[in-house]
Amino acid sequence: MAYLTISVSALLFSLVFLFSDRFRARYGDATDTVLQFTAGAHAAGCAALLIMNRFRIEITPFTLLTAGLAAVDLILYQLCSLRAMGRTSLSKYAVFSMIGGMALPFFAGLLFFDEPLTAGKALCLLLVGGAVACTLQKEDRAGGTGYYLGVFLTNGLYGVINKWFSAAAFPKASEAGYSLLAEGFTAILCLLLLPFVRERSGLVKGRGLLQMGAYGLLCAIGNYLLLLALRTLPATAQYPFVTGGVMLLSTLYSCFSARKPGKRELAAVLLALLGIAALLLL
């Protein structure tokens, strides 16, 4: 059941990239635009989780701390994310994003949460990690490397924060209650930051609002499903599986975009699939 849950999560995350990529292509990646996108997306996610949690707001000191850290991380992720998308293909962006989301929680699980290392997990990490090497080349727009690294680190750190919340013995909210606060804090922080941004690209309207909302709903539900799966599935198994699944699906979508996946991206997907097979079978 846990693998079914994270399979649905991987599907949702792969669709997320489509909406953010189209938003960036239409509205750009200026700082005020990114903050508007992040605020709108996470406001939609907050609304969805509020309904799912039956309009209950659960507050404990530990939940406030972790939700606040997650909110800061999510804003930094979006700033790097939309700018990285304009400098590479969708499939390569997804590789950097999801590898970060896999590697950091994987090692955090081993080092800080006493999760066992099996042959399948180790082989999966090596194979999916090798996928990154397949994508490294010097054909992207200047300035992309810093944004790729930012996407790698911030997406990975978000998984670590979620694992910490799930494993901690402190009094805390339910998974939906925690996710609700993280989404709400993210939207509020973005709105508070907007007046201090010098770049002015204008208000996002029309189709952009729909893309924000779709992105936010898919992200919020996907992250909630990952939190639920962490009850029974260790981070060392969950995050490599999700990473490989998202890489496969996003590369498939990329085949229908302006930036087609090359041989390196396709090789990366093959390695990711082998990694998933190793995780499930060994």
pLDDT mean over 175-199:
91
CB atoms inside a 10 Å sphere around CB 192: 11
Find out whether 185 and 67 touch, Cβ atoms under 8 Å. Answer: yes
- The band of 164, judged by pLDDT with boundaries at 50, 70 and 90, is very high
- The band of 278, judged by pLDDT with boundaries at 50, 70 and 90, is confident
Distant-in-sequence contacts of 136-139, Cβ < 8 A, 24+ apart: 137/264
Instruction: Give per-residue pLDDT as tens, 145-156.
Output: 677 788 888 988
Q: Cα dist. 238→168, 196, 227 in Å?
A: 18, 39, 10
CB atoms inside a 10 Å sphere around CB 108: 22
Instruction: Give per-residue pLDDT as tens, 57-96.
Output: 999 999 999 999 999 999 998 888 877 766 666 556 666 7
Q: How many CA atoms lie within 13 A of 191 on its CB side?
A: 11
Instruction: Give per-residue pLDDT as tens, 3-15.
Output: 788 888 888 888 8
- DSSP-derived secondary structure for 131-160: HHHHH--S-SPTTHHHHHHHHHHHHHHHHH
Question: What's the chain's average pLDDT?
Answer: 83
Find out whether 41 and 212 touch, Cβ atoms under 8 Å. Answer: yes
Global model pTM greater than 0.85 = no
Q: What is the pLDDT of residue 132?
A: 65
| Res. 183: pLDDT tops 90 | yes
Domain boundaries, the chain: 2-281
Nearest-angstrom CA–CA distance, 6 and 105: 15
Nearest-angstrom CA–CA distance, 266 and 252: 9
